[in-house]
Amino acid sequence: MPYSLYLPGNSWLHRLHPLTKLAFSLAAAVIIFAGPGEWLSAALPGLLAMLLLWRAGLAWHVASVSFRLLALLSCVLFLVHGFFNPHNQTILLALGPFAIGVEGLAFAALVVLRLAATLFASLLLVVATHPAHLVQALAEARLPYGLAYLLGSPLLLLPQIARRVQAIRDAQQARGLETQGSLLQRARALFPLAAPLIFSALVDVEERSLALEVRGFSAHHPKTSLKELADTPPQRLARWVMLLLAGLLFIAGVWSRTYGGR
């Protein structure tokens, strides 16, 4: 599937039920941002996710995608918090009227660590789960089919949108539009590229809606699928254990932040 984050394969991670991977991603996100012990809670889920991805042969791809997404943002966070964080007290380096504070750098590092760990845990689900299988799993879990489709449709539509963006860019470049060069040139090319994409997406909404209705999307009777998703009792137990653990650590994190300073 070109332009998709999903990587086809037959690893043990691919064979896991989509809800098992979804439960891991959700539990990891809760622990990363709300667990006790800021650094430990931020690091452990990400390390565990990378270990699982390494066992499935997907770690390098996920690390590459995460680096491309976080590199620029990380630089901005370190600059902003290093120079302008209001909690800066320990000066690491003075540059004229500005000074880099240790507290700001530590806070920026914690934010970047949390974002990276969340990306690792989320991409564990995305790269090893076909979007259609995720929608099917959510529907089989008795989630309203419309909501299941709404949650899975961004992943389903991503390849189509990416192909359309490439086609629009090629067509506009053939007409002489400059899409490379300075920042000003790229800004001028934004509307000629974005407008056709938005208009075609609006037209596609009606066509997709009609196609879904023809296939009985709004029918109330149970739906069947050509592919049967394999689920096992150990996986169902693991899902409940992960969600329960996330809930307990969330409570522990709230307790420590509320009463830990007393």
The pLDDT profile of the chain, 262 residues, written as one tens digit per residue, is: 445 688 888 999 999 999 999 999 999 999 999 999 889 999 999 999 999 999 999 999 999 999 999 999 999 999 999 899 888 888 888 877 788 889 999 999 999 999 999 999 999 999 999 888 888 888 888 877 777 777 777 776 666 777 777 777 777 777 776 666 666 666 666 677 777 777 777 777 667 666 666 666 666 666 666 778 889 999 999 999 999 999 999 999 999 888 865 5
Neighbours of 260 (CB within 10 A): 9
Residues 6+ apart with CB under 8 A from 1: 8, 159
What residue segments make up the domains of the chain, in order of their start?
12-129+232-259, 137-214
**Cβ–Cβ under 8 Å, residues 238 and 22:** no
Distance of CA 245 to the CA centre of its chain: 21
C-alpha pair distances (Å), 163 with each of 1, 2, 40, 157: 11, 8, 41, 10
Question: What stretch of H or E contains 58?
Answer: none
Question: Of 210, 250, 235, nearest to 13 (Cα)?
Answer: 235
Q: Which of 61, 57, 66 has its CA nearest to residue 14?
A: 57
pTM: 0.79
Interhelix angle 59-84/102-127, nearest 10 degrees: 160
* Nearest Cα to Cα of residue 117 among 67, 49, 53: 49
pLDDT value for 1 = 41
- How far from chain centre, in Å, is Cα 54? 18
Distance of CA 215 to the CA centre of its chain: 29
pLDDT the model gives residue 205: 67
